[in-house]
Structure 1
Amino acid sequence: MKSNKILFVLLFLSFGLLSGSAQEKRTYKIGVLLDRVTAELSPLIEKLQNEITAVVGEDAIIEFSPENILVNDFNLEKARSNYNQLIAGNADIILAFGVLNNEIISPMTVHKKPTILFGAVNRDVQQLDLSKTSSGIENFTYLIESESYHDDLTRFKELSDFKNLGIAIDAPIANILPLKEIFDAELATLNADYRLIPFESVNDITSNLDGIDALYLAGGFFMTIEEKKILAQELITRKMPSFSVNGPSDVKLGFLATLQAEENLDQFFRRIALNIEAYVTGTPLSELPIYIDYNPRLTINYNTSDAIGFPIKYSLIGETDFVGEFRNVLSEKEYDLLTVINQALEQNLSIQSGQKDVDLASQEVKTATSNYLPSLTASGTASYVDPDLAAISNGQNPEFSTAGSLTLNQTIFSEAANANIAIQKKLQKAQQEDFNASQLDLIFDSANAYFNVLILKANTQIQVRNVDLTKTNLQISQQNFEAGQSGKSDMLRFRSEMAQNTQAMVEAINQLEQGFLVLNQLLNNPANLEIDVIDAELDEGVFEDYNYDELFGLLDNPSLREPFIAFLIEEAYRNAPELKSLGYSLEATERNIRLNGYGRFLPSVALQGQYNSTFNRSGAGSTVPEGLGFGLVDNYYTAGASISIPIINQNLNNINRQTAIIQKDQLDINKDNLELGIAVNVRNGVLNLVNQMSNIQLSKISEETAAEALELTRASYSEGAVNIVQLLDAQNNYLDAQLARTNAVYNFLINALQLERFLGYYFLLNTEEKNNEFRQRFFEFLNNQN
């Protein structure tokens, strides 16, 4: 809770000594009453000392001595004894913090020494009069914050709709405060059951989570960071929504949500110092304001909500802050660029379909080649002949007979078959090059999808920070309005900006999800598979051996740029699978032209053999009449050769030749157009890279400048020196500069890979040896140009 967080700071006073330096100033000895001290409270003491010194140092000398720092360790009698000790001792002002000290001091109507109380108690159980703006009690003031069990539970119910809530609170506090009465009433109103979990250690909580569907951490200020991490992780493992009274610091450790606003430590330190300054300069404590205003604001851990499958209600987006890295904590697989490319090449459905086209083209080659394979045919017949006819056939046509034959055909030479084989082989190679082009396209598409997700992640994080920035500016405009430095229109304008920026953040989150969907489709993953991508940096990870400095040097040198472009175009011509495919199609067409030209006069030569056998003769005419002088042959064979030359074929040969010539002309035109397109693409790719190279350097300068300009403009706006339009312009410039800076490297890598696609050669996927050969070819090309 906020008052507990305030207590967090004051605990450090036990270790420091703050004193003024001016002579003849009155010295005030400060006594401090604490419930507990932990080792993790020390880092903030220096900042608190500096603040008090800066505010009070001109008016008095302030001393914090160890003997006046008293801790009760949640012992009520010890708390009473500590208070009495300070009353009887040399303390001039008493600062009291914590539940037990609140129990001792709140009921008092007479205060013997000036006392400032931070009760560290939720306002729902405060014993102090909350209707007043000041204490009205001599020598006494107290500070009250806005936190409330009622507000927390109402919002938590709205978020998670819990039915059986666990409420964890420090055991000493549970023994002192009437929490059962409060929670009985609150949970009855929310139509839910609850279990109070008093704890001394984190194990007391984790061992009592069975049977509940959500946890409300209503205490835990003195838990260590490590203990809170253990508890948060256990809740995430159980997929259990959690809500903390301690503010965004707990949410950053893994708790789901809190309603407490981000603690403004500077504001708290200033309020402590101002109260002390007001008293030492003559303002009675009874007249000091008692409220510290923090606007309640829902904070949700994006990663925790993802991990527990907790849907964020868009109706709450406008009043919600998000913390987290916006990475997919549920991801079943994390991809780097090489993993994305390799899986896409192996599993992408489009590329698998393209491979089938190559396989089908190979089958066409086999079909064409099979024309030179022998053909063996077996046949059988059974005949019945009219008996009268059979009787006079002299045994040649018996009434009943069965016979069989084997026929062998073998092509020896055929120009048409030769041409078809050659054509199908060329078409198969063309199909293979088309497939290679599809692979190159897929590599770039996969890399583009990968970098697009990185860009969307960065955009989401920037949009979240922009919402936070707008929230800060809105607070400044509210302060200016209350101070009379600006009109209400400024505040309304920032509220409108807050709504617009929040919508931009929601859209960024959804676009990131869409980016993951596209990547899953390319990788042939289930659409709902949870994945994430690893960030890519120049000269790191898979790009560690990717020598960009050399590329920078070549493109940055005007005298080398044009020769380098000419070399890249030559390499692109040499590597382009599209050109190779056209080349094979041209060769196939030229072969077709030759076939329908002189090739049509080449003869076709074939061999044929046949073996015949009569299995049975019966009935009339089944035998040769006596005296004819010949017998019947049941088994015999024949063999022969054939040569054929087409003379006139309905003019189809001429028509086919003319058609092939037209196709060749068309392919030549397409080749010229493709070469021109490759040259243009390479030049555009180089120019885009030059742009991105400068963008990397200039965007860094632009972001730093925009950030500084925003800080100066915001400071001037808070002082009323500039108007809201100037502040909004500065904020929007900073937003644009952040997006440009974050995306600059990704855009450079995308453009580099796009240029490599035009070259038909990906450096990232080739060995260092191959890449060195590429460099050597350039140097040889350069030497030949001189």
Structure 2
Amino acid sequence: MLKSTKHITEAGWIFRFVLPFLAISPIFADTTTVGTVIDGQAEYYDELFDIVCRETLSLTGDEFSLSFQQPVSGKWERTTIEKELRKQLSDPDIDIVIALGYIASDQALRISNPSKPLICPLIFDRAYQETKAQPSSNLIQIDTPMLLKRDLTTFYEMTPFTHLAFLCSAHFNPDINRAKAYITSLLDLRSVRVDLIPIGDSSSKLVLPKGTDAVYLAFLPHLSKKNRKKMIGGLNSQSLPVFASMGGEDVPLGALAGYKNERAAQKIARQIALIVQQMLLGVPITSKPMVMSSFEHLLVNMNTAQNISIFPPYSLLTEATLIEAPIPPQTKVWSINEIIDKAVSENLSILVKARELKTGEQEIERAKTHFKPQVHAETLFARIDEDRTSSLLNIPEQQLTQSLTVTQLIYSEDAKADRAIQEQLQLSREEDLSLVRLDIILQTGQAYLKLLKAEAYENIQKENLERSRNHLQLARIRQSTGYSGRSDVYRWESQIAVNRKDVLQADAIKAAARIELNRLMHRSLEEDIMLDRADVSDPQYLTNHALLKKMIRDPWHFRQLRDFLTQEAIAVNPQIKLIDHKLKAQERELLAAERSYWTPTIAFKGEISHKFDKSGAGSNSLTLPPQYANLFSEIDDTSWSAGVAIKLPVLSGGQKLVRNAKARLEVDRIRLLKREVEEKLEAGLRAMLHKAGASYSAIELSKKSAFAAQQNLDLVYDGYSHGVLSVIELLDAQNAALTANLLATNAVYSFLLDYLQVERLTGNFITFSSPQERASWFNRLQHYSESCKNKQQERKYELK
């Protein structure tokens, strides 16, 4: 059976793509009139009819004369719809009839051997409808399935329910018992009570059975958006989760979730247009049912979820498109420059270095105190042996003395060197702070780009998951129509499980990137952050200057750019400046060591003391006979002294020699360290520039690869849907497209990350600088390029 189906499909391809280019006589010689029957007056059918008219007239163009009659309403009655269909089939002025409605398509299938082409484009569920139309060349069947089982499975995974109210259109005249049994069977033996609630022209009197904990909203074309929104709002007010079969329309109106069929009406209209065109060209139309595959993705209304306290699991949220609550006007949207400023001002690593800088300022102040007056006050209580006392010399047994000493350093080579060294070390601390600031800017820029990259990866994985779901849907339809077996369905179910894992992993990577960005900005780690994505993920954001584009387009100018950036890096890089300041500090230490052999230390010292109390032996004044009174002057209780001391080193046991040798070796070490750092910096910068140049060139190539892979996937998908190609070929094409898309996204962000590394190595983030600084930088680049050009011309002249 599969083999014969493949031959039929290949023939269909020949008719579809070859015969239109051959001279085929159309079957309608004059104006072709198309009649349409709709279920009833509804916004959905009016819009769908307009799209069908536009698509068909656009496709047929001026080649054929085609007219559409106004659609006839069946007034939501099956008997009326069947009557109108038969009426148009018997009308000689109508050449083609379209049953443009779910009821109309169902009734059309029950008409045997229609006398003219009858298109049934809205067959939603053959298993439930139990339609067994007799094969007829005039009966064109298009399956546009509503995947009820998928909807119910997703709904149950989102919020396990026990009592489901199934709201359907009363105009479909459902068999309540059969419909309930069918819906229950789709729930795969879950213990769920199902109540079918027919909805008429008004939803204002909606009363749900007691105990209802979930509501499924089926297709209700007869209700306007206003009425559906009102009904959904009423259900939300009862904290009832609502899953909508028309997710694209009803989830934005307030339903909790539903699947959105991308451009469903356009696809249906385009398929009808292609069928009409084939009829006009005289191409045979297959009597087998055509499958209208769709690319659907899950929508979740997060505002509704919060309001009714329903929390969908990660497994669904990561694959869904989330309709968030409206962003309050005061919500901060962070641009890349604002994020950088926030990180620079509040990052803890920078604040720690800033405190070290403050500590260094105190070291300078400490060194300055060497040449400031030193004043010391002292109080002394002393007691000596009685036999050591002397009233004549004013040496009492017990005394309380207070003294004040003043010292002023006049000259000291070590003190001068200490101040100079601390000033240089403080400058090195400032450069160390600049290094940390550059590192934080780099890390913040990387975290920002990695978060954008993670979001892009997640979107790609979600799209791939939806594509696998679409392919699973197609495989199930192929199985139901006999195009393939059950193995294709199992293969896609397995693939979907793998894709869901990939989506969860992508979401985890995104969460980790957000946490890292918040950490660098010193924000709450789990706090959401709204990013301004304008232009940042575009390489032109960094390379939008004409001069820079010129410098990377050919090897000669690219070499100039590398030389210029190396020159800039060595001139302004804080790491080299830091080493320069440490070198100057060590050179001053070496100078002090050399001068220590002969430079003295000069200081002034003065002291005054007074005995405030004395007692015991020797405390009383000695009274001499008058004849001896002039021989001894009385010693009072106050004494003072003042003088200048000059201290010259003579011998220190070899300490000066060791100090001198050590300082000299340290100077040599730092000079070598500077050369090493400059060499590493230049090598790293030039290598990173080559890497950035390669990643920039890879962007366009990756885009071409992704485009080609997507084109290939479209072709293979078309072949698989027509039974020409196998599931393995489709899976291979899908994986190739996924890989190409991921590589294309990675190419963009790899270049942006490489470019940030280049700017970090140069020691100056021109990307985040002010317009004036950027203009100055580009002026220097322009001047350097012109000087290189002039030197080249001079060399050519000298050679001549």
Q: TM-score, normalised by structure 1?
A: 0.75
State how far apart, in whole Å, the 2-side matches of 1:538 and 1:293 are.
39
SS across alignment from 1:601? coil
Kindly report the root-mean-square deviation, in angstroms, between the aligned alpha carbons of the 2 structures: 5.7
Partner AA of 2:661 in structure 1:
Q
- Measured after TM superposition, the shift of residue 409 of structure 1 is 1.4
- Measured after TM superposition, the shift of residue 519 of structure 1 is 0.9
Residue in structure 1 matching 2:613, options 605, 613, 616: 616
Contact kept in structure 1, 2:413 and 2:601, CA below 8 Å:
yes
Cα pair distance change 1:770/1:119, threshold 3 Å: closer
| Counterpart for residue 567 of structure 2 | 570
Contact kept in structure 2, 1:688 and 1:751, CA below 8 Å:
yes
Bigger drift between 414-423 and 27-36 goes to 27-36
Bigger drift between 686-695 and 530-539 goes to 530-539
- Measured after TM superposition, the shift of residue 364 of structure 1 is 1.6
Cα pair distance change 1:445/1:412, threshold 3 Å: same
Residue 625 of structure 1 pairs with residue 629 of structure 2: no
State how far apart, in whole Å, the 1-side matches of 2:320 and 2:57 are.
33
| Counterpart for residue 429 of structure 1 | 427
| Counterpart for residue 647 of structure 1 | 650
- Measured after TM superposition, the shift of residue 603 of structure 1 is 0.7
Partner AA of 2:411 in structure 1:
F
- Measured after TM superposition, the shift of residue 492 of structure 1 is 4.7
| Counterpart for residue 32 of structure 1 | 37
Partner AA of 2:441 in structure 1:
I
- Measured after TM superposition, the shift of residue 575 of structure 1 is 0.7
Contact kept in structure 2, 1:326 and 1:457, CA below 8 Å:
no
Contact kept in structure 1, 2:102 and 2:124, CA below 8 Å:
no
Bigger drift between 655-664 and 32-41 goes to 32-41
State how far apart, in whole Å, the 1-side matches of 2:197 and 2:487 are.
47
State how far apart, in whole Å, the 2-side matches of 1:719 and 1:135 are.
21
SS across alignment from 2:552? helix
Residue in structure 2 matching 1:461, options 452, 459, 462: 459
Contact kept in structure 2, 1:368 and 1:424, CA below 8 Å:
yes
Contact kept in structure 1, 2:537 and 2:748, CA below 8 Å:
no
SS across alignment from 1:596? helix
| Counterpart for residue 545 of structure 2 | 548
Partner AA of 1:662 in structure 2:
L
| Counterpart for residue 443 of structure 1 | 441
State how far apart, in whole Å, the 1-side matches of 2:786 and 2:417 are.
44
SS across alignment from 1:361? helix
- Measured after TM superposition, the shift of residue 439 of structure 1 is 0.9
Contact kept in structure 2, 1:102 and 1:118, CA below 8 Å:
yes
| Counterpart for residue 301 of structure 1 | 300
Question: What per-residue deviation string (whole Å, max 9, x for no partner) do you get for residues 622-667 of structure 1?
Answer: 2212115433413332212211112222322221222222222221
- Measured after TM superposition, the shift of residue 491 of structure 1 is 5.4
| Counterpart for residue 499 of structure 2 | 501
Cα pair distance change 1:252/1:510, threshold 3 Å: farther
State how far apart, in whole Å, the 2-side matches of 1:721 and 1:109 are.
32
Bigger drift between 194-203 and 639-648 goes to 194-203
Contact kept in structure 1, 2:413 and 2:595, CA below 8 Å:
no
Contact kept in structure 1, 2:254 and 2:304, CA below 8 Å:
no
1:342-353 aligned within 5 A: 342-353=341-352
- Measured after TM superposition, the shift of residue 471 of structure 1 is 3.6
1:57-68 aligned within 5 A: 65-66=69-70
| Counterpart for residue 52 of structure 2 | 47
Q: Which runs of 5+ in 2 are unaligned?
A: 1-24, 92-96, 278-286, 792-800
Residue in structure 1 matching 2:779, options 755, 771, 776: 776
| Counterpart for residue 577 of structure 2 | 580
1:160-559 aligned within 5 A: 160-161=159-160, 216-218=216-218, 220-222=220-222, 241-251=241-251, 255-258=255-258, 299-301=298-300, 311-313=311-313, 322-324=320-322, 333-385=332-384, 390=389, 392-394=390-392, 396-474=394-472, 492-537=490-535, 547-559=544-556
Bigger drift between 369-378 and 735-744 goes to 735-744
**Percent of residue pairs identical:** 23
State how far apart, in whole Å, the 1-side matches of 2:613 and 2:42 are.
117
Residue 592 of structure 1 pairs with residue 589 of structure 2: yes
- Measured after TM superposition, the shift of residue 438 of structure 1 is 1.2
Question: What per-residue deviation string (whole Å, max 9, x for no partner) do you get for residues 11-38 of structure 1?
Answer: xxxxxxxxx9845999999573534322
Contact kept in structure 1, 2:400 and 2:611, CA below 8 Å:
yes
State how far apart, in whole Å, the 1-side matches of 2:672 and 2:426 are.
22
Cα pair distance change 1:164/1:668, threshold 3 Å: farther
Q: TM-score, normalised by structure 2?
A: 0.74
Matched residues, number: 735
| Counterpart for residue 636 of structure 1 | 639
Contact kept in structure 2, 1:399 and 1:619, CA below 8 Å:
yes
| Counterpart for residue 3 of structure 1 | none
State how far apart, in whole Å, the 1-side matches of 2:561 and 2:140 are.
78
Residue in structure 2 matching 1:685, options 688, 691, 694: 688
- Measured after TM superposition, the shift of residue 589 of structure 1 is 1.1
Cα pair distance change 1:364/1:42, threshold 3 Å: same
State how far apart, in whole Å, the 1-side matches of 2:728 and 2:174 are.
53
SS across alignment from 1:736? helix
Bigger drift between 479-488 and 725-734 goes to 479-488
Cα pair distance change 1:637/1:177, threshold 3 Å: farther
Question: What per-residue deviation string (whole Å, max 9, x for no partner) do you get for residues 84-120 of structure 1?
Answer: 8888999668959589x999x99x999x999999999
Cα pair distance change 1:89/1:515, threshold 3 Å: closer
- Measured after TM superposition, the shift of residue 65 of structure 1 is 4.2
Cα pair distance change 1:69/1:200, threshold 3 Å: closer
Bigger drift between 359-368 and 241-250 goes to 241-250
- Measured after TM superposition, the shift of residue 429 of structure 1 is 0.9
Q: Which runs of 5+ in 1 are unaligned?
A: 1-19, 56-60, 278-287
1:624-773 aligned within 5 A: 624-627=621-624, 629-718=632-721, 726-773=729-776
Question: What per-residue deviation string (whole Å, max 9, x for no partner) do you get for residues 651-698 of structure 1?
Answer: 222212222222222212221111111111221232123213322322
State how far apart, in whole Å, the 1-side matches of 2:485 and 2:119 are.
36
State how far apart, in whole Å, the 2-side matches of 1:651 and 1:705 are.
79
Contact kept in structure 2, 1:300 and 1:323, CA below 8 Å:
yes
| Counterpart for residue 283 of structure 1 | none
Cα pair distance change 1:558/1:383, threshold 3 Å: closer
